[in-house]
Amino acid sequence: MSHGAMLAAHDPFGHPIQVQRPDSVAAVAGFIEGFLAYEPRILAVLAAAEHDDSLIVQTCAAALWMFSESPAGPPQARVHLARARAAGCPASDRERQFATAVQAWVEGDLASALAVHAELARAHPRDLAAIKLGQYHAFNLGDAPTMLRLALPAQAAAADVAWTHGLLAFAHEQCHHLHEAKACARRALALRAAEPWAEHAIAHVMLTDGRFAEGRDFMARASAPWQGLTSFMRTHNGWHLALFHLELGDEAAALAQYDREVWGVDKGYSQDQVGAVSLLARLELAGVDVGDRWQDLADHLAGRVHDQVQPFLDLQYLYGLARAGRPEALALRDAIVAFAPRAPATSRSAWQQVAVPAAHGLLAHAQGRWAEAAEALTVALPRLVRIGGSHAQRDLFEQIWLDAAQRAGDAATVLNVLQPRLNAAPQSRRLARRLRTVHAALGLPDRH
């Protein structure tokens, strides 16, 4: 097929696409379905982009580079988008809108990207990849209501697709709609027995509900197919299983899960790295000696000093480097402070009002300056949702704050926060153990 000739085809949900090569149809399908299912076939579009200048192929390749969540992403993505513009291949309005959204993402304008994704969701409610990408942006901005609004048009239009209900399930959970989240997740699993995003949503519901033994058993039963997923989904669902072990007081199982399924699948990937930081920190806060694991992790974090892609990521890179005693921790703290005033408008307040004080607090905690850590984290916590991440992920920062407060002598604050949580989640041996030390510090009898 000549460079100028185009092939009219359809994506997996029936949307028209125009590509230059027949094999690009499967590559685009692999991107869409691999994105929704967290399968490695998402990567096939990179090879297709070497030989196909069509807008949809080059835009999918650009999006893949942006998923690297690294400074290398935007320059590489711009190459693909520029190649598509130079080729000027025919494309549908929907394809052009998707390219516009990805271009806005590349330029750091997430507000504009989300506006386009909202238009796509209304006009093309079966375009689940566009909806999911919009949810990704909203999630990283801490905007759970937008996550849900994006997915709602698909509820009727794509009711036959398991992935629809997985997208709805997690959005509902992040809006604290636990009943709806569970129902949507169960619907997804009825349509597709091993739907990892729906399994992930159920893990969130059970963690929030304090149903730790049930959550552990559910995730353990679901875990076998995770080996074939992308590293993020495999390690993140493994991270959730480890959290259930921790809450149930089985620190050995949680540590084994870290070694087997959370760290080491893709040590270079951002999400694998922050999952490892988060779990190691929680293990230490639970009293576990993690040995030299911080050192190995820090070797892979040291190059992140000047990333500043998302505050949620930077803060965990910083803590991991600081716990390993690496000088790059201080450099990363300084880089966050310097970047915050010039961050993109959509996320600038998150960098300035949350990331900067949190960076000071996390560094102080890692270095044993408890009162300073507690004070700085107290400033950040009320607005913490703005840095993105899930409730479960952001809980790490509150755990560190409470540990700092207790070590600084403010056990009363810790009691007032943790006792209601244990009342609501009586299965938590982690909380019961922590509260025993709090009661002892306050001269109160042991209730646990």
Q: What is the pLDDT, as a whole number, of residue 4?
A: 63
* Tokens of residue 442, six digits: 């306050």
In 107-250, alpha helices (H) = 110-123, 128-140, 144-151, 154-157, 162-174, 178-191, 196-209, 212-222, 231-247
- Rounded to whole angstroms, the Cα distance separating 311 from 393 reads 13
Give 179's DSSP letter.
H
Closest listed residue to residue 13, CA positions, set 129, 185, 187 = 129
Mind listing the pLDDT tens digit of every residue in the chain (448 residues)? Answer: 345 689 999 999 999 999 999 999 999 999 999 999 999 999 999 999 999 999 999 999 999 999 999 999 999 999 999 999 999 999 999 999 999 999 999 999 999 999 999 999 999 999 999 999 999 999 999 999 999 999 999 999 999 999 999 999 999 999 999 999 999 999 999 999 999 999 999 999 999 999 999 999 999 999 999 999 999 999 999 999 999 999 999 999 999 999 999 999 999 999 999 999 999 999 999 999 999 999 999 999 999 999 999 999 999 999 999 999 999 999 999 999 999 999 999 999 999 999 999 999 999 999 999 999 999 999 999 999 999 999 999 999 999 999 999 999 999 999 999 999 999 999 999 999 999 999 999 999 987 6
Distance of CA 279 to the CA centre of its chain: 14
Closest listed residue to residue 386, CA positions, set 170, 113, 110 = 110
Identify the H or E element spanning 18: strand 16-19
Q: What is the pLDDT, as a whole number, of residue 1?
A: 39
Q: How many other CB atoms sit within 10 Å of the CB of residue 50? A: 9
